[in-house]
Structure 1
Amino acid sequence: MSLTPRQQQVLNHLRQQIDATGLPPTIHELMEAFGWASPNAAAKHLDALIGAGAIEMAANKARTIQLVGTRKRPDTLELPLVGRVAAGEPILSEGLVERIVAVDRWMFRPKPDFLLRVEGDSMIDDGVLDGDLVAGKATPDAEHGQTVIARVGEGITIKRLYRRGRVLRLLPRNPAHVPIDPDPTEDFAIEGVYCGLLRRP
């Protein structure tokens, strides 16, 4: 693998960022780091590194950059961090993959399919705090008492499910918040069940 000095600088920066944060930089972060005025300059250097076999990435998605030779181990999962989840009032879910997060496979039961970032404090009595990354198993079904990730209208929220007969409520775990009673006329669906969480120190 033969790189120009500038390409090597970019590769070194990618490695430092991934080692420090666990995440590759975005295109705009690369532009800021190297003083590039256009995203095309960043894309050109990334394309050169791909061509040299130094990195791999999904098309036009810098957050998916992976250094060649540092693939995930068999005991890891790569989970997409998608949209947001409110622990409080539902907020709009963007439905976009922000980045891929590698986690140890044994950390969660059941095996999760995605991560969502918590906003709010309505689940603090269950130890779910603002800023946590909640792991969810994608499923439309859940039992009474399970913590679920649900779509209410155009928002996504995490709550404790109350289901008795035809009565369905989404219960907060903070007395400062009130339950959510889904309106039969609005869009409602269980998107997944809670598997655990990640919290940065």
Structure 2
Amino acid sequence: MSRPLTPRQQNVYDFIVKTLNEQGYPPTRAEIARALGFRSPNAAEEHLRALERKGVIRMVAGTSRGIRLPAQEQAEPEGEPPSQGLPIIGEVAAGSPVLATEHIDRYCPLPPEYFTPRADYLLRVRGLSMKDVGILEGDLLAVHRTERVRDGQIVVARLEDEVTVKRFRRQGPRVWLEAENPDFAPIEVDLRNEALEIEGIGVGVIRGGNGQALN
């Protein structure tokens, strides 16, 4: 550290560290402003720039959570690139792999091991078909990639080039993809003449894409 921090800068730095430790990813400017009583996110931005000049944080352009701690980055194993975190998948194009580069909106600096079993990616939820189990529009569903699934698990399934999040039920060659919302009818699939691919199972939820991770 080239120069000591002012008390206010120390408060901002401590909040960043606290958020990283508790949630696994850094706060936004708005969250910093709200937590520390700043009038606007611009005030938080000014403190972040000051912290960057003093070398205690690093700012990543183009992302609302682009705050990194150089001390943590230096702790990465020698010879290995710093982890980008979990990829956040937005829209999935028909017929293409979920983890195709063009589907990745950004990365969330949350370790895969935060979830059990470990997560491979975060899928942004569209719609309210799973609202009764607390999976809401805009949430991030943590997904463990596997084709092995048990009855009752929440899965990411691909059916006729569409990717959907539903609860899995199977009886013989018939599968039901069930919503957790009475407004949505189950999707019935006959495996004898319809293709169904399981992309993974849900292992946790990040509320609203930027709140506390639940697993």
TM bucket, shorter chain: 0.5 to 0.7
Residues 94-113 of structure 1 aligned to structure 2 (within 5 Å): 95=100, 96-103=103-110, 107-113=114-120
2:128 aligned with 1:127, yes or no? no
| Matches of 2:172 and 2:190, distance apart in 1 | 16
Does the CA-based 8 Å contact 1:77-1:105 persist in structure 2?
Answer: no
2:86 aligned with 1:79, yes or no? yes
What do residues 113-141 of structure 1 show as CA deviations (whole Å, max 9, x unaligned)? Answer: 00000011111111111111000000112
| Percent identical | 31
Counterpart in the other structure of 2:202: 194
* Cα distance change, pair 167–133 in 1 and its aligned pair in 2 (3 A): same
| Matches of 1:188 and 1:56, distance apart in 2 | 43
> Per the alignment, in what secondary structure is the counterpart of residue 128 of structure 1?
coil
Aligned residue pairs total 149
Counterpart in the other structure of 2:166: 159
2:77 aligned with 1:69, yes or no? no
Counterpart in the other structure of 1:137: 144
What do residues 139-176 of structure 1 show as CA deviations (whole Å, max 9, x unaligned)? Answer: 11201111100111121100000111111110001110
2:151 aligned with 1:150, yes or no? no
* Cα distance change, pair 70–153 in 1 and its aligned pair in 2 (3 A): farther
Gaps of 5+ in 2: 1-25, 31-56, 77-82
* Cα distance change, pair 187–163 in 1 and its aligned pair in 2 (3 A): closer
* Cα distance change, pair 193–94 in 1 and its aligned pair in 2 (3 A): closer
Does the CA-based 8 Å contact 2:86-2:120 persist in structure 1?
Answer: yes
- Out of 114, 123, 126, the residue aligned to residue 116 of structure 1 is 123
Does the CA-based 8 Å contact 1:84-1:94 persist in structure 2?
Answer: no
| Matches of 1:21 and 1:149, distance apart in 2 | 32
Does the CA-based 8 Å contact 1:144-1:164 persist in structure 2?
Answer: no
| Matches of 1:55 and 1:104, distance apart in 2 | 19
Q: Displacement of 1:83 after TM fit?
A: 3.0
> Per the alignment, in what secondary structure is the counterpart of residue 151 of structure 1?
strand
Gaps of 5+ in 1: 1-17, 23-53
Does the CA-based 8 Å contact 2:86-2:110 persist in structure 1?
Answer: yes
* Cα distance change, pair 65–127 in 1 and its aligned pair in 2 (3 A): closer
Q: Displacement of 1:188 after TM fit?
A: 2.3
Q: Displacement of 1:20 after TM fit?
A: 2.1
* Cα distance change, pair 21–80 in 1 and its aligned pair in 2 (3 A): farther
Amino acid at match of 1:134: L
- Out of 179, 184, 204, the residue aligned to residue 177 of structure 1 is 184
| Matches of 1:122 and 1:146, distance apart in 2 | 15
| Matches of 2:29 and 2:184, distance apart in 1 | 34
**For the aligned residues, what is the CA RMSD?**
4.1
Larger strand share, 1 or 2? 1
